[in-house]
Amino acid sequence: MSGQAAEPAAVAAAQPLRIKRLTLTDFRAFPGTEHFDLDGKNLLVYGENGAGKSSIFHALNGFFALKPVRALREHKNVFSGKPDGECKVAVEYSNGDAPVEWTVAKHPCVNTRRRPAGDWYQYLFGNADSRTISTALRSSCLDYRALLDTNYRQGSGPINLFAIAVEHLLRDYSVTVSGGSTSTLGNLWGAVLAGMPSSHTSAALARINQACVDFNTAFRGAFPALVPLINELMQLLGWQDVELKGFNTPGLTYNQVRLKQNRAVDGQQLMPELSFRNHALPTPQLFLNEARLSALALAIYLAGRLACTPTAEATALKLLVLDDVLIGLDNSNRTPVLEVLMHKFADWQVVLLTHDRNWFDLARNHLPHEDWRCYEVYEGDRQAQAPMPIVYQTANRPAQGLLKKARELLETQYVEAAANYTRQAFELGARKACEIKKIEMRYCVDPKTHQAQDFLDKLKSWPGSRAVTKKEWDAVIKRLEMAKTVVLNPYSHALAPNIPKREVEAAIDAVNGFLDLVARRRQ
């Protein structure tokens, strides 16, 4: 295909499409060129505030848009001093073709060719990229501001989700219109806007009235698919006490008053019927706590994507990008979101972006490592003329990532620092082992008061399983005990500034063996 519009038969026969690499050049926080290698997997990114994390969100949101809200030129890095033409976003797909670029001169979803005579397919797509168009129709890029649109920004009165529904939630919902042809709610809404008559001839009035009828029928027909999905997601997110009973809409009608400036399409309203513990909830933004509102907003958006994108379309790239949408949830309410993503969006490519380090560590420790790529983004040299963020790929198993860092430091003779990273890896592994194997630890306000021996004493009590025998377990615990005095105890380093390198090497090997056993999850 090589970036050109592929024939429909070729698209259908292709393998499932994924993003292989995302490249940002002179884009927002990145004055140079930065690559994010997804290799077809999901992406989890931690970024310090101001380091450039949201630049990834804006790049994907603008690239996969039929009509970007902002021109690429507006995203250019203001410090680089490079010409506008240097600014671009490139996506390399998993089918091996050359990367598709969003440049100042051209967006991949925009057809810049004139209509060829008799060629309907080229008329639709021309030299636009059909894969990017297809993904734009099946993608959703959400940040915390999008979730606010469903609650706090609605003011103090009843919530009206009409604009959100026609522009985002149900824009791509497929419907059958009169004559048996297929369309979408977004197209039907566009037909209503385009049908606003300049003069009130009988033909013009008939067109606008029919457009309203077609839209109303399709709009109401989408509710039976959307409502159960929202309630199912609320259940999965742990909020069984909030229920969506349905939606109310008066339906669109054309107001054909005499004065032209007063003519309008009335009925642009979509009010959810919500209940909280079986009590009607007309203004949830004034009553529900932030955690429930965040979960409800997320459920509404995710349900809209699931309703519009059937799971049977296995070859299409379905993209979900979430930028700090969970800041209204604590960790106990964030873990269910990961379960929803793993099970309801298993055939999607998901990008999670966060500035919360604890959440990043929790997520990469919880998500299946074989399905995810993890990156960390840090603010670069503030004194530089064009500060360049520091980006590096990290292990999506935190404890193994710390051990890798320990080995790197050991090779450069930073022995004490290597010992510290080894201890951190052990503590993460020990906590994970206690969680998986249901081993109870005494509560401490400051978890640093736990000594290595506290963990080891508790870990000794585990009886073994089919996956890990008691003999294997006891052997690795014994190796850890040999390393604990100098390397693994939190307060040992100040008393032993000259830690022998060989002891750190032995501790790294012991912790690595321990982590391998912890990873065998079958009880």
Percent of the chain with pLDDT over 90: 50
Same domain, 304 and 337: no
Domain end call among 354, 373, 396? 396
354 burial (CB, 10 Å; 0-12 / 13-18 / 19+) is buried
- pLDDT band of residue 4 (cuts 50, 70, 90) is very low
Domain boundary among 260, 281, 308: 308
Low-confidence winner among 118-127, 147-156, 344-353, 478-487 (lowest mean pLDDT): 118-127
What pLDDT score was predicted for residue 489?
67
Q: Which among 296, 298, 165, 143 has a CA at the least distance from the CA of 225?
A: 165
> Is 150 domain-assigned?
no
Residues 336 and 448 in one domain: no
Nearest Cα to Cα of residue 233 among 299, 297, 290, 288: 299
CATH code, domain with 47: 3.40.50
| Closest CA relative to residue 298, chosen from 135, 146, 139 | 146
Question: Between the ranges 233-237, 419-423, 516-520, where is the mean pLDDT highest?
Answer: 233-237
pLDDT tens per residue across span 175-207? 988 777 888 999 999 999 999 998 999 999 999
100-103 vs 390-394, strand pairing mode: unpaired
Give the three-class secondary structure for 137: helix
**Does residue 143 lie in a domain region?**
no
Do 253 and 351 have their domain in common?
A: no
Mean pLDDT of 161-177: 91
> Taking 60 as the threshold, does the pLDDT of residue 300 lie above it?
yes
> The domain that contains 493 carries what CATH number?
1.20.120
As a whole number of angstroms, the distance between CA 105 and CA 488 comes to: 57
Residue 14 has pLDDT above 60, yes or no: no
pLDDT at position 255, please? 93
Same domain, 291 and 169: yes
Among 396, 429, 460, the domain boundary falls at 396
Residue 430 has a pLDDT of 85
Q: Do 242 and 367 have their domain in common? A: no
How many CB atoms neighbour CB 516 within 10 A? 14
The answer to whether the CB of 57 falls within 8 A of the CB of 64 is no
Measured distance CA(107)–CA(84) in Å, rounded: 15
**Amino acid type, 73:** R
State the residue range of the domain holding 175.
156-308
* pLDDT number for residue 67: 84
Q: At what angle do helices 357-366 and 331-344 cross, to 10 degrees?
A: 40
Average pLDDT over residues 339-360: 93
Asked if residue 244 and residue 181 are part of one domain, the reply reads yes
Work out the average pLDDT over 138-155: 89
Averaged over 226-243, what is the pLDDT?
Answer: 96
What number is the average pLDDT over the span 256-263? Answer: 84
Q: What whole-number distance in Å separates Cα of residue 245 and Cα of residue 281?
A: 11
Top pLDDT among 439 and 143 is at 143
pLDDT on residue 445: 61
The answer to whether position 145 is within a domain reads no
Residue 368 lies in a domain: yes
How large is the angle between the packed helices 202-236 and 290-308, nearest 10 degrees? 120
**Domain identity same for 268 and 282:** yes
Lowest mean pLDDT among 81-95, 285-299, 448-462, 500-514: 448-462
Q: Is-contact 340 350, C-beta < 8 A?
A: no
What CATH number is attached to the domain comprising 260?
1.20.1050
How far apart are alpha carbons 5 and 133 in whole angstroms? 10
- H or E stretch at 364: helix 357-366
- φ, ψ (nearest 5 deg) of residue 288: -75, 150
CB neighbour burial string for 441-479, b if at least 16 within 10 angstroms, e if fewer: beeeeeeeebebeebbebbeebeeeeebeeeebeebbeb
CB burial string 157-190: b at 16+ within 10 A, e below: eebbbbebbbebbbbbbebebeeeeebbbbbbbb
pLDDT for position 388: 87
Can you give the pLDDT at residue 213?
95
Look at residue 475 and tell me if it is in a domain.
yes
Question: Of the ranges 12-16, 89-93, 317-321, which one carries the lowest mean pLDDT score?
Answer: 12-16
Q: Does residue 314 register a pLDDT over 70?
A: no
**What's the rounded mean pLDDT across residues 405-429?**
85
C-alpha to C-alpha distance for 324 and 363, rounded to whole angstroms: 13
Name the band, by pLDDT with cuts 50, 70 and 90, for residue 497.
Answer: low
> Does the residue 386 lie in any domain?
yes
Q: What is the 3-state secondary structure (H, E, C) of 404-439?
A: HHHHHHHHCCCHHHHHHHHHHHHHHHHHHHHHHCCC
- The pTM score is 0.78
Does residue 383 carry a pLDDT above 60? Answer: yes
Q: Is 204 inside any structural domain? A: yes
Domain identity same for 102 and 16:
yes
Nearest to 345 by CA among 227, 172, 519, 229: 229
What is the chain's mean pLDDT, rounded? 86
Residues 32 and 69 in one domain: yes
Q: Are residues 374 and 437 in the same domain?
A: no
Among 119-123, 231-235, 322-326, 513-517, the minimum mean pLDDT is found in 119-123
Instruction: Return the sign of the alpha-carbon dihedral for residues 60, 63, 69, 73.
Output: positive
Of 49-63, 164-178, 327-341, 378-392, the one with minimum mean pLDDT is: 378-392
Let me know whether 391 and 404 are in one domain.
no
Tell me the pLDDT band of 10, cut-offs 50, 70 and 90. Answer: very low
User: Total domain count for the chain?
Assistant: 3
Question: Both 18 and 100 in a single domain?
Answer: yes
pLDDT in tens, 35-93: 999 999 999 999 988 889 999 999 999 999 988 889 999 999 998 989 999 999 999 99
